[in-house]
Chain A
Amino acid sequence: MKVDLNINGVERTVDVEPRTSLLDCLRGELALTGTRAGCEHGVCGACTILLDGEPVRSCLMFAVQADGYEITTIEGIAPAPGELSVVQDAFVEKHGMQCGYCTSGMVLAAHALLMRNANPTDEEIRDAISANLCRCTGYGQIVEAIRLAADNLAQSNVFPAERVR
């Protein structure tokens, strides 16, 4: 069946089976492979995307259910091609990754946090990514990266939702 999806600000029409998960649709139909397939049963968070700015597990919803939402994937958060968002940049600087497989989900969860709360406490940072599993790093550097992103935002003087990008 045909479904219209708004992905990273672009309207896309895809022809998928009703059973196709949003994850499979993004990776398979649209070749947006930055969204990772991990456990595919809703636990690990590797497939995290944003629906109207809120983190969602794309393995747990059907592509057809995403009709009418603004979908943001890891490919859609940099301010311009070749540039990095504040969060992405902080992950690079703070070594906020190892194998990188959970990174898209972590970056998006952090992005969503800072979009709604540009000045989070450490507790709020931990809470925001506590449902995303990382098997490599022990998490410390990921938290440090998000802290740095928040600090960098606090020092910029742009409208909050704009400056996350």
Chain B
Amino acid sequence: MARTASRNIGQSIPRLEAREKVTGRAEYVHHLRLPGMLYGKIFRSTVPHARIKSVDVSAAQALEGVYRVVTIDDIREAIPHPYYGPAFHDQPILADGKVRFAGEPVAVVLAADPHIAQEAVGLISAEYEELPAVFDEVEAMSSDVLVHDVLKPAATFPDLKHLAGRTGTNVALDYHLLRGDPEAGFAAADHVFEHTYRSQQVMHIPMEPFVSVADAADGRLTLHTASQSPSFVRIEIARLLGWPENRVRVKVPYLGGGFGGKLYIKLEALVTALSLVARRPVKVALTMEEQFFMVTRHPCTFTIKSGVNKDGTIVARTCKVVWNGGAYADIGPRVTQKAGFTSAGPYDIENVEIHSYAVYTNRPPCGALRGFGAPQTAWAYECHMDEIAEALGMDKVAFRRKNLLQNGRPQATGTIVQDAALEQALDQVADRLNWNEPLDRGDGRIRRGRGIAVGFKGITAPTTSVAIVNLYADGSCGLYISTVEMGQGSDTVMAQIAAEVLDMDAAAIKVVHPDTDVTPYDMGTLGSRSTFHMGTAVRLAAEDARKKIAELARELGLPEGSNLPLPELFRRKYGMQAGNIIGTASFIPKYEKPDAETGHSRNATPFWGVGASGAEVEVDTETGHYRITKLVNVADVGTALNPKLVQVQLSGAGIMQLGFTTTEEMVYRDGQLTNGSLADYKIPTLLDIPPEFINEHVDSEQKDGPFGGKGAGESTTIALSPAIGNALFDAVGVRLTDLPLTPEKIFRALCEANGTPLAGE
């Protein structure tokens, strides 16, 4: 698509903060030390489900150098109702009478020296009355073991109100969608297929572990926190304290990675309570090992059934998706709903039924992680698509293309699909894989295969972004936004958008980092929403500033279109270098919440995230080991506002998902995590990158996005796992249904297929 040349939009401008980062000067909460600051170290439960009989802190309290040991009783002095969470107020700041997962915080030692605090943690002991526990999501649906006695939805979401006070269930939220008549569809279909697929529990592993500092004094509180959602932190902390928002200040410098983990509220409630109790600034910095107990990604069991005609038309589909939310809901109910409504895949199907359930279990809590559930659902529906095509003897790309949703057609919710380059993305992957050329499949021990997959996601809605553009008297510009620069490049892209409107260079714009006393509201840096939502707010704020410049010129009696430089306008107005022009705007996209009965909505998402992936693999049939020799990711990001930033986003998301596909899994024994460290939980290194690794975006445009752009951070997570699973099937003819795709599973499946199954796991 031909576009007008611009010095900002579409240019791979280097990151505004690159120099700070390569010189080691970039600021992270991890570095922060305040005068008089205490360090908090956490004593954690050793059992997955139990009533706490007693906690003995006396030896810890007696250790020299310990300032204080804090339990939930002390927390109540500062916060009488110490339960928090974005969807449910179900998580106690410290365990309150009960523990619900092994690793849950029970007490905190405060000391000026973190090593003394850690030593004292080792002197605390707790006595538990153990309770039966439930870990599997499907079991938890009907188990007698109840993780919570009563559901406590937050008032923030009106559509959760009906769940208030519900008892006798582990199901925190159920989402349902019905379109057409699936039973009639199955009855009339030539074939019916049903499969079940599972995704495992994984963790974000930001390189900078969770860290927050609270400084409470004189009825005011300042939080310095590695958070993706400073505005939400302020609102939630103000609620917990019963304070007005303006007495809570939340500041966020750079984040050392977030990926959805550092969203909503994490350590902030704890450090706030500790600082209020201790009357000193308090820092809690988790270790890499402790991160696994903070938040993780939902394991998921997905049973999918399709009615398909001989010609390959899918006429009916039902989806039952069960999300293992762990002990506390976090944002799981939203994952359940948002990933629920797209769980039938990007296909045009007349009869669809979806049931999506968020379920409590005795595992560490699960929340948002890069894709908000879309990768888990795509793992199921795209493996299922391949199994159907295989059974029908159809080409896998042709089968998908035949059923793919086209722009202008209604998705399962009834929302008309727009600006979703599904077919383009699929075709581009097929092209890069030379899909129509034969593949050298190998013979003997080494076998080769290739696979393809495509998927989409809806975007969290409705959400608001507010931006302020501040023009100073010398004509320079500050951009005040609460979008968190966590690596995705938001500072640079937002500056590019403002600069484009203001006819400046992006590099000349100062982006002011989140400080809720200064920067305006933003719902959060999450779910691929910033470029579209904040980007639009920034564009509108910059246009507002321009309008005000024109007004000032008129006020000064200048002729229309006079090109007087801005500093001169200020000088004429104020007689010296003085004053500001403030442009501001907010943006909330159109949205219609899904009907409670049918799940229908005419406007379910502000835009669609689209990703397609393809893989070529080489499998050693004697060991099950495999090599991914080629990996292709293609995303629809609308107009790439900064192609190089987009490129890094696509490759980074792809490699993260590669880890979730091949090696990463939180492994438990009796509810105890057994591999909670980087030594045992393996994330991809440079040597795991496939020799041929292609990341591209299609030539497209999000018409209502800022300068045609939309989010890019999650698209390549969606279809990658099934592309690899499908390639493995293509190579050796065994279908793995459970992630991750380990050599052991392949070997076991091969033995099974050869009629020589191995003994149990």
Question: What are the residues of chain A within 8 A of B204 when measuring CB–CB?
Answer: 135
- Which residue of chain A has its CB nearest to the CB of B678? A43
Q: Hey, which chain A residues are within 8 Å of B656, CB to CB?
A: 135, 138
Interface contact B207-A46, CB-CB below 8 Å: yes
Expressed in whole angstroms, the Cα–Cα distance for A129 and B215 within the complex equals 39
A39-B23 CB under 8 A given contacts A33-B31, A138-B652, A139-B689: no
**What is the bound-complex CA distance between A17 and B115, given in angstroms?**
11
Size of the A side of the interface (Cβ < 8 Å), in residues, is 53
Q: Is the CB of A39 within 8 A of B489?
A: no
- Across the interface, do A137 and B24 meet the contact criterion of CB distance under 8 Å? no
A41 at interface, CB cutoff 8 A: yes
A-facing mask of B660-693, CB < 8 A → 1, else 0?
0000000000000000011100010111010001
Instruction: Flag whether A126 is at the interface (Cβ < 8 A).
Output: yes
Measured between beta carbons, the chain A residues less than 8 angstroms from B256 are: 36, 99-101
A107 beta carbon closer than 8 Å to chain B: yes
Q: Does B466 contact A (CB under 8 A)?
A: no
B265-273, B422-430, B641-649, B729-737 - the one binding chain A: B641-649
A-contact bits for B735-746, CB 8 A (1 contact / 0 none): 000000000000
Does B18 lie within 8 Å of A91, measured CB to CB?
A: yes
> Is there contact, CB below 8 Å, between A107 and B22?
yes
Nearest neighbor of B689 in chain A, beta-carbon distance: A139
Q: Once the chains bind, are B25 and A34 in contact (CB under 8 Å)? A: yes
B258-304, CB < 8 A from A: 258-259, 287-289
B714 CB to closest chain A CB (Å) equals 13
Q: Chain B's nearest CB lies how many Å from the CB of A45?
A: 9
Which chain A residue shows the least CB distance to B31?
A33
**Which of B25, B30, B651, B652 is packed against the most chain A CB atoms within 10 Å?**
B652
Contact across chains for A38 and B689 when beta carbons are under 8 A apart: no
**How far apart are the CA atoms of A95 and B18 in the complex, in Å?**
8
A89 contact set on B, CB distance < 8 A: 22
Given contacts A41-B678, A97-B18, A126-B687, contact A73 B652 (CB under 8 A): no
Check if A131 is an interface residue, CB within 8 A of chain B. yes
Minimum CB–CB distance from B441 to chain A (whole Å) comes to 28
> Any chain A CB within 8 A of the CB of B255?
yes
- Minimum C-beta distance from A128 to chain B (A): 10
Q: Are A98 and B655 in contact (CB under 8 A)?
A: no
Within B174-221, the residues touching A (CB, 8 Å) are: 204-209
Which A residues lie within 8 Å of B14 (CB)?
A: 92-93, 95
Contact A100 B254 (CB under 8 A): yes
B567 within 8 A of A: no
Would you give the shortest CB distance from B527 to chain A, in whole angstroms?
17
List the B side residues contacting A91 at CB < 8 Å.
Answer: 18, 21-22
Assess whether A92 is in contact with B12, with CB atoms less than 8 Å apart.
Answer: no
- Complex contact B30–A36 (CB within 8 A): yes
Beyond A40-B287, A44-B678, A131-B685, whether A101 also contacts B28 by CB under 8 A is yes
Bound CA span A142–B258, Å: 20
Q: Quick check: is B486 within 8 A (CB to CB) of the other chain?
A: yes
B24 touches A141 (CB 8 A): no
With both beta carbons as reference points, the residue of chain B lying nearest to A89 in the complex is identified as: B22
Contact of A39 among B15, B644, B677 (CB under 8 A): B677
With A39-B288, A100-B17, A126-B687 as given contacts, are A33 and B678 in contact (CB-CB < 8 Å)?
no
Q: Which residues of chain A are within 8 angstroms of B648 by Cβ–Cβ distance?
A: 95, 98, 136-138, 140-141
Q: Does B488 contact A (CB under 8 A)?
A: yes
Given the contacts A41-B288, A43-B679, A140-B693, A99 and B207 also touching, CB distance less than 8 Å = yes
CB-defined contacts of B18 to chain A, threshold 8 Å: 91-92, 95, 97
Which chain A residues in 26-41 approach chain B with CB under 8 Å?
27, 32-41
Collect the chain A residues with CB atoms within 8 Å of residue B257's CB. Answer: 98-99, 101, 135-136
Question: Is A13 in contact with chain B by the CB < 8 A criterion?
Answer: no
Q: Is the CB of A99 within 8 A of B31?
A: no
A84 interfacial by beta-carbon distance below 8 Å? yes
Task: Tell me the minimal C-beta distance from B739 to chain A in angstroms.
Answer: 19
A35 to B26, CA, bound (A): 11
Residues of B within 8 A of A73 (CB): 24
Picked from A37, A41, A103, A143, the residue with its CB within 8 Å of the CB of B21 is A103
* Nearest CB of chain B from residue A122's CB, rounded to whole Å: 11
B residues whose Cβ falls under 8 Å from a Cβ of A: 12, 14-15, 17-26, 28, 30-31, 115, 204-209, 254-259, 287-289, 486-489, 644-645, 647-648, 651-656, 677-679, 683, 685-687, 689, 693, 695
Q: List 19 A-B contacts (CB under 8 A).
A: A17-B115, A19-B115, A36-B207, A40-B287, A74-B23, A84-B19, A84-B23, A88-B23, A92-B14, A99-B206, A99-B258, A100-B487, A101-B256, A107-B22, A135-B683, A136-B487, A137-B648, A139-B651, A139-B686
Besides A99-B208, A99-B486, 5 more A-B contacts (Cβ < 8 Å) are A95-B647, A99-B206, A99-B255, A133-B683, A137-B651
